[in-house]
Amino acid sequence: MIHSEPDQPRSNHPKSTKRHHVEAKAFIEKTVTENPVVLFMKGTAQFPQCGFSGRAVQLLKSCGVRNLVTVNVLEDDEVRQAIKDYSNWPTVPQLYIQGEFVGGSDSMYEMFESGELQKLVPAQAQAS
């Protein structure tokens, strides 16, 4: 379900669809290139299903992100594995800004503390 209202994370990932690995990689590529801020996470922004994912959402909110696209990797094992292959990063959550892989929860925290994460957030992802 895609939510377009401000302050509401959007998901481009239908729950009932299973993708093959190649299709999952294509889905990932399309999602990260068409949306300014994308977080692949366990659970949703409203209900994170791991502490690291919850922390990542809170960091993005603290940076003023209001137009966040989230993908719940627990909904599709192919996407869960494909995102790790796509980024060559072994864990989730994974943050993408303007199509570029930023890092996981620990990297996000370090970047937030230094002020670097706030500078990366594009204006179109922030509240108007």
Tens of pLDDT, residue by residue over 98-125, are 999 999 999 999 999 999 999 998 876 7
The residue length of the chain stands at 128
As its CATH architecture, domain 21-103 has 3-Layer(aba) Sandwich (3.40)
- pTM for the structure as a whole: 0.83
What is the per-residue DSSP string for 48-93?
BSSHHHHHHHHHHHHTTB-S-EEEEGGG-HHHHHHHHHHHT--SS-
Nearest to 54 by CA among 120, 9, 118: 9
pLDDT digits (tens, 9 = 90+) for 41-96: 999 999 999 999 999 999 999 999 988 999 999 999 999 999 999 999 999 999 99
Q: Give the chain's count of helices (H) and strands (E).
A: 5, 4
**Which uninterrupted H or E stretch holds 95?**
strand 94-97
Domain ranges of the chain: 21-103
